[in-house]
């Protein structure tokens, strides 16, 4: 399954990129598993997702939780808690 | 009238007040957020999502307008680099009476802190940079609106 992942703020800095396209491995069916896979993939992922409880998620523009399923998703955004205003 | 902007340009508060008040409702409340220059801060950078940030602000403006029956809402957030003292966010809400306008203004700025995709990065005079963490209490203030 091809998927676009976008990163923001310090997640973007630690990943070293704002966006990438990935082939999601079989068995990675929700955002939590995706984050675990990115964490195990390389040192950048390990740094960016060292504290998964601080990661927020939007799938195709909708804010969701780490348990959200990936089925049908085109773009997953991963980012820290927001600090607007 | 609902007016929502996400912009890198300097925010002209007086001009926005004039635009907002064109309809002449009875009560108008405002919130102006400025960049604090504490601790040797030289720059505040606002990162946003090119699509979701604007959409989130529009949703918020409509939610407030519906909830309090507002005559007008203006919601403007700057993005990009700004200096201490500059205006970062402007919230204006107007209604027939003050209660609705004041409540809607507070709701909008509380929700902005937790619901809209914006991130702040501080740069200090010694070259240090850090991403701003959510303040304790931001979630609580946002959640009390239900």
Which of A6, A58, A83 comes nearest B134 by C-beta? A83
Q: Using a CB-CB distance cutoff of 8 angstroms, which residues of chain A are in contact with residue B30?
A: none
pLDDT above 90 covers a percentage of chain B that reads 79
Interchain pair A85, B113: CB under 8 A: yes
> For the whole model, what pTM was predicted?
0.90
Residue B23 has pLDDT above 70, yes or no: no
pLDDT at B137: 84
Which of A8, A12, A61 comes nearest B55 by C-beta? A61
Residue B22 has pLDDT above 80, yes or no: no
Instruction: Specify burial of residue A25 (Cβ count, 10 A radius: 0-12, 13-18, 19+).
Output: exposed
Bridge-based pairing of strands B2-7 and B72-78 is parallel
Among the four given CATH numbers 3.40.720.10, 3.30.420.10, 3.10.20.30, 1.10.490.20, the one describing domain A2-79: 3.10.20.30
Q: Using a CB-CB distance cutoff of 8 angstroms, which residues of chain A are in contact with residue B133?
A: 81, 83
Q: Using a CB-CB distance cutoff of 8 angstroms, which residues of chain A are in contact with residue B33?
A: 85
Domain ranges of chain A: 2-79
Q: Tell me: domain B2-143, CATH 3.40.50.1100, correct?
A: no
pLDDT at A85: 85
- Chain A residues interacting with chain B (CB cutoff of 8 angstroms): 6, 8-10, 12, 58, 61, 63, 77, 79-85
Q: Tell me the shortest Cα–Cα distance from A70 to chain B, in angstroms.
A: 19
Q: Using a CB-CB distance cutoff of 8 angstroms, which residues of chain A are in contact with residue B50?
A: none
Interchain pair A83, B119: CB under 8 A: yes
Residue A1 has pLDDT above 70, yes or no: no
Q: Tell me the shortest Cα–Cα distance from A51 to chain B, in angstroms.
A: 14
CA trace torsion A17, B134, A62, B31 (10° rounding): -120
Bridge partners (DSSP) of residue B128 are none
Distance CA A69, CA A67 (A): 6
Measured between alpha carbons, how far apart are the two ends of chain A, in Å?
37
Q: What is the ipTM of this complex?
A: 0.89
């Amino acid at each position: 399954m091809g998927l676009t992942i976008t990163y923001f703020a310090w997640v973007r800095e630690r990943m070293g990129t704002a966006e990438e396209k990935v082939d999601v491995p079989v068995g990675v069916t929700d955002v939590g598993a995706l984050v675990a896979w990115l964490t195990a993939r390389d040192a950048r992922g390990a740094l960016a997702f060292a504290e998964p409880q601080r990661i927020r998620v939007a799938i195709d523009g909708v804010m969701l939780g780490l348990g959200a399923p990936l089925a049908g998703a085109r773009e997953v955004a991963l980012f820290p808690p927001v600090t607007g205003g | 009238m609902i007016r929502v902007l996400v912009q890198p340009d300097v925010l002209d508060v007086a001009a926005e007040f004039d635009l907002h008040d064109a309809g002449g409702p009875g009560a108008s409340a405002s919130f102006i957020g400025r960049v604090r220059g504490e601790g040797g801060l030289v720059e505040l950078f606002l990162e946003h999502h090119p699509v979701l940030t604007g959409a989130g602000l529009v949703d918020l403006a409509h939610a407030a307008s519906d909830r309090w029956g507002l005559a007008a809402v203006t919601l403007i957030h700057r993005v990009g680099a700004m200096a201490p003292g500059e205006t970062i966010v402007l919230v204006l809400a107007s209604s027939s009476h003050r209660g609705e306008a004041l409540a809607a203004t507070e709701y909008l700025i509380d929700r902005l802190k937790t619901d809209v995709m914006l991130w702040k990065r501080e740069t200090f005079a010694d070259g240090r940079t850090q991403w701003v963490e959510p303040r304790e209490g931001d979630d609580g203030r946002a959640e009390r609106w239900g």
